[in-house]
Amino acid sequence: MTAAGAGIVILFDEIDRKVLDVMLGFAAGVMVAASFWSLLSPALEMSEGKSLPVWFPALVGFLLGGVVMRLVDYYLPHLHPGAPPEEVEGVKTSWQRSMLLVSAITLHNVPEGLAVGVAFGAAASGFEGATVGAAVALAIGIGIQNFPEGAAVSLPLRREGLSRKSSFMWGQFSATVEPIAAVIGAALVIAMEPILPYALSFAAGAMIFVVVEELIPESHRGGNGDIATMGVMVGFAIMMVLDVAFG
C-alpha cells in the first residue's frame, strides 16, 4: 500500500493539503487503535496468572518502546514533509532534503513492521489471546494506513524537483524497513517466548510515540486540525472493527 500511495505522484504533482491531513489523521487513528486492540490488550491477557503484576510487562514494554523511538528520533537526521529546512531533526548531516524526507517516513515504518511481526510471531507460538486473525487484521490496518505515508513521501519529493519515477521509487523505498522489522520481531518472539508481552507492548509504545511525535503534528501543520481529527476517529474505528471482527 505504500507503493500505491507513492504512485499518486505518477498522476498528480501534489495533492490538496486537506486531503493529505485527513489521510495522516486516519493513519494516526489506525495506529492508536492497533496499539491497544492488537498489542497492549493481548499483552495484558498473556500476563495473567504470572508472578509479576498483570500490568508490569505492558508498562515496561510500552515505556521502553517510547524511549527507544525517542533516541532514534533524536539521532536520526530527518525532516518532516512541509517543514522548512531549519527544522531538520537529528544529528547534523550533509544529507539532501529529499533524503531527509525519506528518513522521516522510514522512521514511521519501523514500529509498524515490528508490530506486525510480533503479532504473527505470537500467533505462531500459540499464545492464548494471540490469533492469526488478529495478526491479519493488524497487517491489513497497517497496510491501509501506509497509503497516505507513501503519498507523504513521493509528493514532497516531486515538489523538490525529482522526477515522477524517482519520487515514486523513493516513496516505495521508505517502506522497505517494514518487512525487515517484521521478520526481526517475529523471529525474536518465536525464539524467546517469555518476552512476548514485553515485545507486544514495546511495539505499541513505539507506535504511540510516532503518532504523537510525528503524525498528529504533521496532520495539523496545514491548519486543518479539525478534519484531521475526524480522520483519526475514522481510522481508529475501522482498525477497531477489523481487530474485533478478525480476532
Coil, helix or strand for 78? strand
The residues facing 49 across adjacent strands are none
Contact between residue 106 and residue 153 where contact means Cβ atoms under 8 Å apart = no
Distance between CA 165 and CA 23 in Å, rounded?
23
Q: pLDDT 10s per residue in the chain (247 long)?
A: 544 444 554 545 566 778 888 888 998 998 899 899 888 988 888 888 778 899 999 999 999 999 998 998 888 887 776 667 777 888 887 777 667 777 777 777 778 788 888 888 777 776 666 677 778 888 888 777 766 666 666 666 666 666 666 666 666 665 666 777 777 777 776 666 778 889 889 989 998 998 998 889 888 888 888 999 999 999 999 988 888 887 6
Cell of 230: 475526524
Distances (CA, A) of 218 to 7, 133, 148, 167, 198: 21, 32, 12, 20, 29
- Closest by CA to 81, choosing from 172, 5, 164, 20, is 20
Give the start-to-end residue ranges of the domains of the chain. Answer: 2-246
Show the beta-strand stretches assigned E in the chain: none
